[in-house]
A and B are shown apart, each in its own frame.
Chain A
Amino acid sequence: GAVVSQHPSRVICKSGTSVKIECRSLDFQATTMFWYRQFPKQSLMLMATSNEGSKATYEQGVEKDKFLINHASLTLSTLTVTSAHPEDSSFYICSANDRGRTYEQYFGPGTRLTVT
């Protein structure tokens, strides 16, 4: 149980285009979902926290107009990278809290974004 999926696993896009990444909790309801970014050989940096049905809370320094987060249901959150640039290339990982087990955070497998 407690599986989080991400789609796509890899995406290559051209500079200036937008890319949407989906994060789904497959067998539990996630009241809160988190989006992280990981640069090569570095740690995970929290980008934003999203709660179902409300606006996401962004970390300092993260552009909310560039990284659009929508938490439309208790099992789905999406991250859209708008007008992507090469510096947005990174590994994006989502995680979700099980509604009934707040201290358990389950991670998706990640999405490798490459902007050319």
Chain B
Amino acid sequence: AQSVTQLDSQVPVFEEAPVELRCNYSSSVSVYLFWYVQYPNQGLQLLLKYLSGSTLVKGINGFEAEFNKSQTSFHLRKPSVHISDTAEYFCAVMRGSQGNLIFGKGTKLSVKP
């Protein structure tokens, strides 16, 4: 069975500092991996996805993630965060051909001035 583990439930960081949000997955088949961002009382917005090809994936808002098959990880990074990046971030793996997403428990990123 596929699963996703987000190791940090909360990550506080100061503005303009770099940040890494960790995500590990387990899957016995080819993986499609996603990072989503959720602002309070809103739905999810896709930040980036890995389907195949280059293991370094660039997304919106300056975020990027690296797919590491040997470590079964897909960590999200940003070199310099803004206050507006404060949100909940979810890592997800796609299950099956219909596109069902299995989500991690989320990481709350708090950017402080």
Residues of A at the B interface (CB closer than 8 Å) are 4, 6, 32, 34, 42-46, 49, 51, 91, 93, 95, 97, 102-110, 112
CB contacts (< 8 Å) of B36 on chain A: these are: 107
Question: Are B105 and A107 in contact, CB atoms less than 8 angstroms apart?
Answer: no
Question: Are A46 and B101 in contact, CB atoms less than 8 angstroms apart?
Answer: yes
Residues of B at the A interface (CB closer than 8 Å) are 32, 34, 36, 41-46, 49, 51, 90, 94, 97-106
Of the candidates B32, B36, B43, B45, the one having the most CB atoms from chain A within 10 angstroms of its own CB is: B43
Cα distance, A32 to B99, chains bound together (Å) = 8
Can you list 26 contacts pairing A with B, beta carbon distance less than 8 Å? A4-B43, A32-B98, A34-B99, A34-B101, A42-B105, A42-B106, A43-B103, A44-B90, A44-B101, A46-B100, A46-B101, A91-B41, A95-B101, A97-B98, A97-B99, A102-B99, A103-B32, A103-B94, A104-B46, A105-B34, A106-B46, A107-B36, A107-B43, A109-B43, A110-B41, A110-B42
